[in-house]
Amino acid sequence: MHEYSVTKRIVKIINGAAAEHRAERVKTAFLVIGENTCIIPESVQMYFDMIAKGTPSEGAVLKVRAVKAEMRCPSCGKNFIRPRFSFECPVCGALGSPTDVGNECYVERVELFDNAL
């Protein structure tokens, strides 16, 4: 629901990287977005196309890797993907506890058109 402001920051980060590497245009940006961020990738792409207009990011493709939230089972010691309406480990049934997997929210890398060549 707050994708507009998130996308403004994403465009700023990508344009910053383009400026730093003296690229006039960005080809692709790779994002990693965890389930816990409540960010909808399709919304980000829609806002991105609007916000990036007239900047080096215009026309760039966003590739989003969505990460499911994982919990950690105290008995098995392993992570499992959080099931719907339950926190039980699918193997042993113990109650899992939250982990940081699912909180990701970053721009991993950018592919820039190399105008120096």
Partner 1 sequence: MDTKDIKIMADINEEIGKIAAGTREKLRGKGVLAVNVIGAPGAGKTSCLLHIIEGLKGVRCYVIEGDIQSNIDTDRLKALGIEAVQINTGGECHLDSVQIQNTVNEMPLDGSGILFIENIGNLVCPAESNIGESLKMLIVTVTEGADKPYKYPLAFEKAGIIILNKADLLPYVDFDMDYFMRGVRALNADAPVFEVSAKNGAGFDGVCECLARVL
Q: Which stretches of the chain bind partner 1, using CB under 8 A?
A: 1-2, 5-6, 9-10, 12-13, 16-17, 21, 23, 27, 31, 36-38, 69, 71, 82, 84-87, 95-98, 105-115, 117
Minimum separation from the CB atom of position 111 to partner 1 (A): 5
3-state SS track over 23-67: CCCEEEEEEEEEHHHCCCHHHHHHHHHHHCCCCCCCCCEEEEEEE
Q: Smaller CB distance to partner 1: residue 16 or 90?
A: 16
Of 49 and 103, the one with the shorter C-beta distance to partner 1 is 103
CB of 75 to partner 1, least distance (A): 13
Q: How far is the CB of 71 from partner 1 (least distance, A)?
A: 8
Pick the closer one to partner 1 by CB: 77 or 115: 115
Q: How far apart are CA 113 and CA 63, in angstroms?
A: 16
Could you tell me whether strands 70-72 and 79-81 are parallel, antiparallel, or unpaired per DSSP bridges?
antiparallel
Q: Using CA atoms, how far apart are residues 27 and 99, in angstroms rounded to an integer?
A: 33
